[in-house]
Amino acid sequence: MGIKAALPKYEIYFYNTVLCLAMVWAASWISEVSSSNANRKTFKSSVKPGWYYFGRKMDTADFEWMMWFSTFREHILFALSGHVLFAKICSMLAPQHRSLVYMVYGLLAVWTSMGWTYVTLILSHCILLYSISLVKLRWLCFVTGLATLATFKCEPFVSWQADFVQGDFELRHVLFYGGCGFTIMRCISFALENCERKEGNYNILELLKYNFYLPFFYFGPIMTFDKFYVQANNPNLARKEREMWNISVQGLIHLAAILVVDILFHFMYILTIPSDVKLLKHVSDWAVVGLAYTNLVYDWVKAAVMFGVINTVSRLDHLDPPKPPKCITMLYVFAETHFDRGINDWLCKYVYDYLGGKHNNVLEELVATLCTFGVTILWLGPCQVVLIWAFFNCFGLNFELWTAKFFSMEPFASFEMAMSEAMSRRIRAIFNTFNFWTIVLYNILALNSLDFAKLVAKRLLLRGFPITTIIVMFVTYCLIQVIKERERRQALIDDPDPIPPAPVPAPIPATTISSTVTTAATPAAPQPVVEPGKEKAE
C-alpha cells in the first residue's frame, strides 16, 4: 500500500469530526477534575496562586518549564541577546572569523555563570577525547567517550566532579549536568568524525568552536560535528528568499505556544493530577485517557518551544539546526518515536545506522537497537523507569520489523495486492491504532511514573473493557486516518505524480495535406444533396 492511497472526502470529514468531539469531551473532563480539586491538600506543593483577577491557580509541577520561563528567563534573554548582537557585528565585519567569535563569547559566558573551575573541567574532557581521536580508532573513541559520560551518571565520580563548581547560583546543578553531558556527546562526535578523516586531523580549536557555541552548550540540541564544521566555516552568508520572514514567524509561533501553555496550566492541572493516585481512582476513564495523551502532547510542546527558541537564534547565525521533535500525535510507528531530533540524529549516524545497515536483517536490527538503547540508557541515567522504558521501546522497534517480515510473505502479500489501496490503508490503520497506544503507554513511563502507566493500562484494557476500549480505539483509528491523510498530502507536494503526456497526433499523409491546401485555395463547390438511404448504402 502506497503512502498516496486516498480515501473519500466524506470519510475524512467524518474522522476529523469524531476526533474534534473526542478532544473536547476529554478536555472537559480534565477541566472539571482540575477545578473541583484545586484546593486539595496534595495539590498545595505544585498548584500555586496564578491569575488573581480570574481566581485561577497555576500548575507548577514541571520544574523544567518553570526554570526556563520564570527563574531562568532573564538569564537566557540576556545571554542570547548578547550572542545575537556580537554575532551580527562579526558577520558584518569579519564573516570568515565568526565561528571564533562564537567560541570566545560562549567561553566567557560559561566562565561568568559557572566559574573557571567548571571551564577547566570541560576543557579537560575536550583535551582527553581529542587526544584519543588522534589514534583514529573508532572503538577506542567510543569506549572512552561512553566511559567519560558514565562519570556523570554514577557515584563517586558525580560528586567528585560536582565539587569543582563552587557558588550558590540556584541553577548551578542544572547547568552543570547539562553542559557536561552535551559536551561529552559533542566530543564523541568530533572524535568519530576525526577518525573518518583520511588525511590529517582536525585542529583542537575546531573542537572548542564546536563545543562552546553558546546556544547549544547547556541544553542542546546536538548537531553532529561534520554539519557544524561546514556551516560555521562557510563565509557565504547570503540569506534565502523569505528566510528572515520565516524566522520571525517561527519566533512568534514559539511565543504563542508559551502563552497557550500558560493558559493551559491555569485551567487543566495535567501534571499534578497524575501524581495523585488516590484521586485518579475516582475520576472517569475519559479523564485518565485524556491525561495520558495530553501529558505526551505537552512534553512535545515543551521540547518544541525550548529547542525552537535556541534554533531560532542559531538560524540567525546562518546555521541549519536539527528540526523540532515530531509531535506524539503524529507517531504511530516506533521507528519515529524521538522527542529530540539532535540526539536521534547522533544515535542514528554513529550507532543505529552504522550497525543496522539497511535495517532489513532481523539479527542486525536486534544488535543495532540493543546498542542504541544501551547508549540512550547511559545518556538518560540508568534507573528502573529508564530500563523499563528502554526495554519496551527496543522490543517494539524490533517487533515492527518482525511483523513487517511476516506479513510480506505469502499468502498475506497476495491478499493485500488483491484489495484496493483504500481498503489496505484502512486495515493498516487498525494495526497502527494498537501500536499508537503502545507507544503512549511506553512513553508515559519516562514522563510520569510506573504507577500512572499501570493505571492507564488497567482503565483502557481491563476496567473499561469493552465500552471504553472500543470507543478509545475507534477515536484513535480516526486519528490515524487523519495523520495518514496529512502524510498523503505532504507526499503529493514532495513527490507529485507525473502528468501523463499528451497523445501524439497521427501523422497526416502528404496527399491529404496537398488536397487540404488545394481545397483551402479553391472555393468550395456546391455539394449535391445525397439521400439518406443511398449514403448509408455507400
pLDDT in tens, 252-274: 998 898 889 988 988 889 999 99
For residue 124, what pLDDT is reported? 93
Identify residue 353 by its one-letter amino acid code: D
Is pLDDT of 350 > 70?
yes
Q: Is residue 530 part of a domain?
A: no
Question: Do residues 261 and 301 lie in contact, with contact meaning Cβ atoms separated by under 8 Å?
Answer: yes
Taking CA atoms, 184 is separated from 157, 200, 428, in Å, by 15, 23, 41
Query: What is the phi/psi pair of residue 303, to 5°?
Result: -65, -40
| Contact partners, residue 392, CB within 8 Å, separation at least 6 | 442, 445
Question: Do residues 319 and 228 lie in contact, with contact meaning Cβ atoms separated by under 8 Å?
Answer: yes
Taking CA atoms, 506 is separated from 515, 516, 520, in Å, by 17, 16, 21
Q: Is residue 49 part of a domain?
A: yes
151 compared with 235, residue with greater pLDDT: 151
Please count the residues of the chain.
538
**Residues 159, 85 share a domain:** yes
CA distance linking residue 262 with residue 260, whole number of Å = 5
Mean pLDDT, range 84-88, rounded to an integer: 86
For residue 516, what pLDDT is reported? 41
Mean pLDDT, range 19-28, rounded to an integer: 92
- Binned at pLDDT 50, 70 and 90, residue 512 comes out as very low
Specify the number of domains making up the chain: 2
Long-range CB contacts (< 8 A, 24+ apart) of 77-84?
A: 79/109, 79/113, 79/214, 80/214, 80/215, 80/309, 80/313, 82/109, 83/109, 83/214, 83/215, 83/313, 84/313, 84/316
Cell, residue 526: 456546391
Is pLDDT of 198 > 70?
yes
- How far, in whole angstroms, is CA 200 from its chain's centroid? 36
- Binned at pLDDT 50, 70 and 90, residue 332 comes out as confident
At residue 168, the 3 state secondary structure works out as coil
Is pLDDT of 299 > 90?
no
- How far, in whole angstroms, is CA 373 from its chain's centroid? 17
- The three-state DSSP-derived secondary structure of 331-359 is CCCHHHCCCCHHHHHHHHHHHHHHHHCCC
Mean pLDDT, range 55-76, rounded to an integer: 80
**Residues 155, 142 share a domain:** yes
- Please give the full DSSP string across 60-73, using - where no structure is assigned: ---HHHHIIIIISH
Q: Which helix (H) or strand (E) holds 59?
A: strand 56-59
CA distance linking residue 412 with residue 418, whole number of Å = 10
Note down the domain range covering 174.
71-236
CA distance linking residue 498 with residue 403, whole number of Å = 33
Question: Is residue 466 reached through a cis peptide bond, with omega within 30 degrees of 0 on the bond before it?
Answer: yes
Q: Is residue 438 part of a domain?
A: yes
Taking CA atoms, 236 is separated from 95, 96, 103, 126, 243, in Å, by 8, 9, 19, 29, 15
**Residues 486, 435 share a domain:** yes
Q: Is residue 42 part of a domain?
A: yes
Taking CA atoms, 75 is separated from 84, 115, 175, 340, in Å, by 14, 16, 12, 24
Is pLDDT of 242 > 90?
no
Q: Is residue 322 part of a domain?
A: yes
- CA torsion angle for 304, 305, 307, 308 (degrees, to 10)? 100
Please report, rounded to a whole number, the percentage of residues in the chain having pLDDT higher than 90: 27
According to DSSP, the residues that pair with 51 across neighbouring strands are 56
- Please give the full DSSP string across 502-525, using - where no structure is assigned: PPPPPPPPHHHHHHHHHHHHSPPP
**Residues 124, 40 share a domain:** no
Mean pLDDT for the chain overall: 84
**Residues 315, 191 share a domain:** no
**Residues 207, 84 share a domain:** yes
**Residues 31, 107 share a domain:** no
Stretch among 118-122, 205-209, 444-448 having the lowest mean pLDDT: 444-448
Q: Is residue 500 part of a domain?
A: no
For residue 503, what pLDDT is reported? 59
Is pLDDT of 72 > 80?
no
- Scan for cell 526495554, then name that residue: 391
| Contact partners, residue 42, CB within 8 Å, separation at least 6 | 275, 276, 278, 279
Angle among Cα 137, 182, 106 to the nearest 5 degrees reads 110
In the DSSP assignment, the letter for residue 499 is P
**Residues 441, 300 share a domain:** yes
Question: Do residues 59 and 31 lie in contact, with contact meaning Cβ atoms separated by under 8 Å?
Answer: no
For residue 473, what pLDDT is reported? 94
- CA torsion angle for 401, 289, 270, 276 (degrees, to 10)? -110
CA distance linking residue 321 with residue 305, whole number of Å = 14
- Binned at pLDDT 50, 70 and 90, residue 12 comes out as very high
**Residues 201, 57 share a domain:** no
Q: Is residue 129 part of a domain?
A: yes
According to DSSP, the residues that pair with 59 across neighbouring strands are 47
Mean pLDDT, range 303-331, rounded to an integer: 85
Computed over its alpha carbons, how large is the radius of gyration of the chain?
30
CA distance linking residue 40 with residue 259, whole number of Å = 26
- Binned at pLDDT 50, 70 and 90, residue 500 comes out as low
Is pLDDT of 538 > 60?
no
**Residues 50, 198 share a domain:** no
For residue 524, what pLDDT is reported? 44
Q: Is residue 507 part of a domain?
A: no
In the DSSP assignment, the letter for residue 200 is S
**Residues 154, 94 share a domain:** yes
**Residues 17, 102 share a domain:** no
498 compared with 235, residue with greater pLDDT: 235
Stretch among 33-42, 73-82, 445-454, 514-523 having the lowest mean pLDDT: 514-523
For residue 277, what pLDDT is reported? 85
Phi-psi region of 438 (alpha: psi -120 to 50; beta: other; left: phi over 0): alpha
Q: Helix, strand, coil shares of the chain as percentages rounded to 5?
A: 70, 0, 25
Is pLDDT of 508 > 60?
no
CA distance linking residue 304 with residue 310, whole number of Å = 10
499 compared with 382, residue with greater pLDDT: 382
Is pLDDT of 519 > 70?
no
CA distance linking residue 391 with residue 445, whole number of Å = 11
Taking the CB of residue 2, how many other CB atoms lie within 10 A of it? Answer: 10
According to DSSP, the residues that pair with 56 across neighbouring strands are 51
CA distance linking residue 369 with residue 353, whole number of Å = 10
Taking the CB of residue 414, how many other CB atoms lie within 10 A of it? Answer: 9
398 compared with 325, residue with greater pLDDT: 398
Please report, rounded to a whole number, the percentage of residues in the chain having pLDDT higher than 70: 90
pLDDT tens per residue, range 363-409: 898 999 999 999 999 988 888 888 988 999 899 888 888 888 888 88
| Contact partners, residue 457, CB within 8 Å, separation at least 6 | 441
Cell, residue 139: 572503538
